[in-house]
Amino acid sequence: MRAAPAGAPPRLSRVNSAEPVHPAPLDAPASDRPALLRALATDLAAAGFTVDGVADLLGPSAHAALARDQIVPALLATARSGDDPRRARLAAVVRFFLLARPLTGGELDGALPAVRAEGLLALRLAAPDDGGRLASTVDLRPYAWDAAAGQTELWVASDLAAHQRPGVLRADHVLGIGHASATLVQTTARRPVARALDLGTGCGIQAFHLLEHAEHVVATDVSERALAFTRFNLLLNAPSLGIDPEDPEGRVELRLGSLLEPVAGERFDLVVSNPPFVITPRTAGESAEEQFTYRDGGLPGDRIVADLVAGLGGVLAEGGTAQLLGNWEIPEGAAWHERVRRWVPEGLDAWVLQREELTPEQYAETWLADASQQRDPAAYEASYAAYLADFAARGTAAIGFGAVWLRRPGPGQARLDRFEELTHPLEQPIGPHWAAAVGRADWLAAVGDGIAGQRLTVADDVTEERHQRPGAEHPGVILLRQGSGFRRTNLMSTELAGFVSACDGELTAGQIASALGALLGRDDDGFRAGLLGEAANLVLDGFLIPAAREGTARGGVAPDSTAADLAQL
């Protein structure tokens, strides 16, 4: 999704196996052979080429090693497939598509008898090697997730990765199911929507998930090869994705173009994007062909993310949300969120979560290794130095990575301006918890000053932790901890701890605050208002939740509690 030159018109690429506006590039899979696509899907299913099937074939150790891009244990495991014809068939498919080992035409015909070697050549999934065998031209792997109607099983094609091929990756490399794309899948707060946009679709992972809960999806990318892979993956998995192969545009539309240009003037209920956010040194006279399309947006510094955040409000419908991943530069002596906050246009809600922070050296090492650029020592040294000089020129002390949530609020919805850093492990997928947190914020906005009249309970995953010196009469530290979701920890005062302990759904928040005020001799309005404000923050963070119904006791104090009873907490 590299930025196109100013004024360049967006181009449209339709998902249509009969008459594509832009035929697939010759170095990308072909999707205009519906009979061969059906035959391939039949073969892969019959071979047991599923997530569980591959894991069972390889065994836990070899499967875990393959997840780390180490293929030797998997090669040994597939060589031990034994006399079982079904396991031998699956082993051949794994060796060809996942381990990038050439096979003879006869071996492929045996493993994939419906599509056969001839069909793989026609689909541009295989090519002859120097030894008279056929080599895979793509990484084709099973992918699955738990959906509302049961598990969804797909096969996803992408370019061969660094551990499957020699040399530096090609500049227009189409990335497969990587860490960042999986993170966005898990982070997205999902809900049924009419129109969704996948901005910078790559091989199509985000679009596949959007099709589960969106009536219509638009997927864009600046790379024709990326759109060709996405088109192939959509049509290969058409039945599982609810797509009619004869009319795929009824559900999903692919558009070629830069950033938001392909959807200018349109509105969406949900936008997701894993943009090419990697901050890359710019050089004089560089061409697009010299940049890694899958990660480099072609703009200096962190402008690709800044421009997206600033522009997304123009494509969001009322109540519409956008979620994207990104990097941002942190200037020397500045808080990490200062620049990011300035990117958010007026009128949009923002919630930005920083998950990691790297030094310029760590950042350079990460992305030089990503494209296997260390295989050329001289180029590696020059590129490393260029990264450091580029960051130094802008006074960048660190680089942050995280997730951005934006919303164009509708009537009655909260106004959110939240920037937080959580570097500890979160429960995954975090998307449902993010959606619940936004729902609680909207509930608080609707309640307004009326939280005093609301009954609250402690969330089921919350525990209390107290620390005190040996022999001390009272604890010096009281903590609330979440066991799920964002897994936050909240340091509490004695007064707030007493408030939380009394939240069993029987008394209102105002009654508890008043009782504590009377007990502590703090019946002034400031004490009560402050305590209710802290309670509202605990609701927003999910430690406290609105009581499901009146009369629901969940521990804590009895229904007839008084200030005297609270003194025992």
At 528, list the tokens.
């009560």
Q: Can you say whether residue 298 is alpha, beta or left, with left for phi > 0 and alpha for psi between -120 and 50 degrees?
A: left
Residues 461 and 447: their CA atoms lie apart, in Å, by 24
Residue 173 is assigned to a structural domain of this protein: no
Residues 44 and 108: their CA atoms lie apart, in Å, by 12
Residue 378 is assigned to a structural domain of this protein: no
Strand order from edge to edge, sheet including 504-508: 504-508, 455-458, 544-546
Last residue of a domain, one of 138, 156, 182: 138
CATH, residue 476: 3.90.930.50
Question: Can you tell me whether residue 76 is helix, strand or coil?
Answer: helix
Is-contact 227 14, C-beta < 8 A?
no
Residue 71 is assigned to a structural domain of this protein: yes
Last residue of a domain, one of 138, 170, 199: 138
Residue 233 is assigned to a structural domain of this protein: no
Q: Domain range for residue 550? A: 447-566
Other Cβ atoms within 10 Å of 47 Cβ, number: 21
Residue 395 is assigned to a structural domain of this protein: no
Residues 182 and 558: their CA atoms lie apart, in Å, by 46
Letter string b/e over residues 479-517, b meaning 16 or more CB atoms within 10 A of that residue's CB: ebebeebbbbebebeebbbbbbbbbbbbbbbbebbbbbb
Question: Can you tell me whether residue 456 is helix, strand or coil?
Answer: strand
Question: Running along the chain, 569 residues long, what does each successive block of 10 average in pLDDT?
Answer: 35 35 73 97 98 97 95 95 88 97 97 98 96 95 87 95 78 88 96 97 97 97 94 97 94 94 96 89 62 61 92 97 96 96 96 97 87 72 90 95 97 95 96 97 93 96 93 89 97 94 95 93 87 96 85 35 38
Residues 159 and 29: their CA atoms lie apart, in Å, by 10
Tell me the DSSP string of 477-538: EEEEEESSTT--EEEE-HHHHHHHHT-EEEEEHHHHHHHHHHHHT--SHHHHHHHHHHHHHH
CA distances from 234 to 150, 237, 283, 306, 314 (A): 19, 5, 37, 31, 28
Residue 70 is assigned to a structural domain of this protein: yes
Q: By C-alpha distance, which of 99, 100, 101, 103 is closest to 66?
A: 99
At 21, list the tokens.
């506006």
The number of folded domains in the chain is 2
Residue 119 is assigned to a structural domain of this protein: yes
CA distances from 9 to 256, 303, 381 (A): 10, 21, 38
CA distances from 247 to 1, 156, 236, 242, 244 (A): 26, 21, 14, 11, 5
- pTM value is 0.88
What is the pLDDT, as a whole number, of residue 119? 98
Last residue of a domain, one of 86, 108, 138: 138
Residues 181 and 192: their CA atoms lie apart, in Å, by 21
Residue 431 is assigned to a structural domain of this protein: no
